[in-house]
Chain A
């Protein structure tokens, strides 16, 4: 499904600020994998997702999605295959456009945008039904500007937009980190529902170890631009926070355990 081979990226190469964000990372996702990604700050989690999305071109390595080599394909063209939700709730939606207009834009992801109407009357019923599944009371506010919604509501709408046209791969970059715990739990529940209903292959970054264990069928841990832990299936289901911390200590050689433990837990 997704094959990442020997992916490297160094920002500000050749200067004193050089930072190797990805260091020969390789990763293969199978169809329908729901992978949670954890790791300390600067481990390269977001960089990995941005590399897949095409925000920048990697220095070396290949990204192959369903047999299509994505290297060199610009961000807006890759969007055809990818659904994305960002950490910042402001980033995923157009604040000055209506909810229905945002959804209509997302429905046409990957399609040629011509001179047909931007939104058909028949789409309203579809969108109302979708918004109803969120259970946030948005189904009656189709023509409200998205800027009037709360952060949690905006993330939920972004999630719908990312999956309205079924993506081959869903990229969630700490999409609940900016929300209060209650809203975050709600958005995560919606996420799981959408992912399992559509059998979406998903990469979800999280800072919360419990969420990383609870959601998905596979967990990877990153450190210094590499995947250092990769557990799936039964082993993943049996994981506990303590076991995860131990795995991390082993993977990092123990030195940086204390500082990273603070970040992770």
Chain B
């Protein structure tokens, strides 16, 4: 148990970094109502672009912006494959992800690259408090910016696009443009989180994004189940998503400390997401079956009563 508590600060730092990725996934999965698998690739793209540019001696903040921009391009590609070529978004995302796999290798010219410079986010235990503060500030900044953005005319139009395309078109909203923009913004944030992750790990790796979408979804479902009963406020739901990511990595930490074989962790992540996504549906089904049985039972009682009266 002590090992678990000692590991908690790491879980918090990781959770905050992955929380930014989860916010990116939130934009596609919750706002646009699209399952976008580009993220598994774009998080590594963000890491790769950051490490390569940073090692070349560029300013750290600029490198992070470049990572964000690279993610934006990846998201735009997915968006265009979906809207221009008319391919389902999930398949469009898989195609881009596959392209990014090769591209990430080309960016680094190998499968992984170590970061040669100290930055403000690191795994170093002495500086972990510093890392957590930075990550927290960045999270709060992003949540605030997104909250403001989705309150604007343009932001409202993007929300409407994800809610009801028919209505959006009838109200003069260019739904294709909005979808591309949403995918762009989402993957930009995911790549930005990849840049932070590369700093945290001290390296970028083409495999660093494998299964990322599952972590993003897990954070969202944990986060929304936490706050949805209290409020539907957009900013609080986003904060909930970040908290969801922190909870996810705390559970992860706990399981690691159980001497659980790490090869099984991906299976565990998938099962956690499956349970969180399935339970509300199963609950609905169970209760509606129960209700219809009750109605049927009442009806048959009434029928019998009628026969007796006759």
The answer on a CB contact under 8 Å between A118 and B155 is yes
**Which A residues, 85 to 127, have Cβ-Cβ distances below 8 Å to chain B?**
86, 90-97, 101-102, 104-106, 108-111, 113-119
B163 interface hit (Cβ, 8 Å): yes
Question: In the bound complex, what is the Cα–Cα distance between A9 and B173 (angstroms)?
Answer: 25
Query: With a CB–CB cut-off of 8 A, which chain B residues contact A111?
Result: 172
| CB<8 Å pairs between A and B, sample of 22 | A53-B170, A76-B174, A79-B171, A79-B173, A84-B170, A86-B170, A90-B164, A91-B164, A93-B167, A94-B159, A94-B164, A94-B167, A96-B163, A97-B156, A102-B167, A105-B160, A105-B168, A113-B153, A113-B154, A114-B153, A118-B152, A118-B155
Residue of A nearest to B232 (CB): A145
Q: Give the 3 A-B CB pairs with smallest separation, nearest first.
A: A79-B172, A118-B156, A94-B163
Residue of A nearest to B160 (CB): A94
Find B171's partner among A105, A117, A118 (CB 8 Å cutoff): A105
The answer on a CB contact under 8 Å between B163 and A77 is no
The answer on a CB contact under 8 Å between A75 and B153 is no
Besides A76-B168, A91-B166, 5 other CB < 8 A contacts?
Answer: A53-B170, A76-B169, A108-B153, A118-B151, A118-B155
Beyond A76-B172, A94-B160, A105-B160, whether A117 also contacts B152 by CB under 8 A is yes
B218 interface hit (Cβ, 8 Å): no
**At the interface, is chain B mostly helix, strand, loop or mixed?**
helix
Residue of A nearest to B161 (CB): A94
Q: How many residues from A make CB contacts under 8 Å with B? A: 35
The answer on a CB contact under 8 Å between A117 and B151 is yes
Question: In the bound complex, what is the Cα–Cα distance between A12 and B145 (angstroms)?
Answer: 47
Query: With a CB–CB cut-off of 8 A, which chain B residues contact A119?
Result: 156
Residues on A close to B: CB < 8 A? 53, 75-77, 79-80, 82, 84, 86, 90-97, 101-102, 104-106, 108-111, 113-119, 161-162
B175 interface hit (Cβ, 8 Å): yes
Question: In the bound complex, what is the Cα–Cα distance between A77 and B172 (angstroms)?
Answer: 6
Shortest C-beta distance, A29 to chain B (Å), equals: 20
The answer on a CB contact under 8 Å between B159 and A97 is yes
Query: With a CB–CB cut-off of 8 A, which chain A residues contact B39?
Result: none
Question: In the bound complex, what is the Cα–Cα distance between A250 and B136 (angstroms)?
Answer: 77
Query: With a CB–CB cut-off of 8 A, which chain B residues contact A114?
Result: 152-154
